[in-house]
Amino acid sequence: YAPWCPACQQIEATWESFAKESERLGITVGKVDVTQEPGLSGRFFVTTLPTIYHANDGVFRRYRGSRTLEDLQGYILERKWEAVEPVAGWKSPSSLMMHGMAGLFHFSGWIRQIHNYLTGTLGVHVWVSYAIFILATLLIGLLLGL
C-alpha cells in the first residue's frame, strides 16, 4: 500500500479487521508501505495498489478477489488459495531475478536521495543535477566499455 493511494485508504479498515482475525485464522497479516520499502515493491513486482499476496511455505499467490472482510476470510478458511496459480518461479519474490529487481529499486532510491541532497541541501539547480547524472552515466558507460 501507499499512504497517498485512495484505494489503499478505502480498504484500510477492512484490512485492519482482517488482521485482528489473523490469529483465529491461523495466519499472519501485514502491510508494507511501498514508499518506505521500494525494494519490496520491486521484489514483488507491484504495479497496482493495493496489491495483496498470500504466501504459504515459500509459495506466493496474488489475491485478486473481492476485498470485503468476508471474502478475505473465506479465501483462507475455505482454502480458495489452493485453486490460485502460484506466481511463476522466475517472478517469485524469492527468485534471483526479483532480488536483482529489488536492488535496482534500492539503487533508484539512492539516486533520488542524491538528487534531493544536491537540489535541496546544496541549492544546485535541478538541471545541473540532471547534467551531473548524465555525465556520471556517460563516464561509467565509458569505463565499463573500456
Please say whether the beta carbons of 14 and 72 come within 8 A: yes
CB atoms within 10 A of CB 26: 8
The answer for residues whose C-beta is within 8 angstroms of residue 114's C-beta and 6 or more apart is none
Q: Is-catalytic flag, 6?
A: no
Q: Is-catalytic flag, 137?
A: no
Which residue type does 112 have? R
Q: Show the beta-strand stretches assigned E in 13-130.
A: 52-56, 59-63
Choosing from 1, 2, 3, 5, the catalytic residue is 5
Choosing from 1, 2, 7, 8, the catalytic residue is 8
Catalytic residues: 5, 8
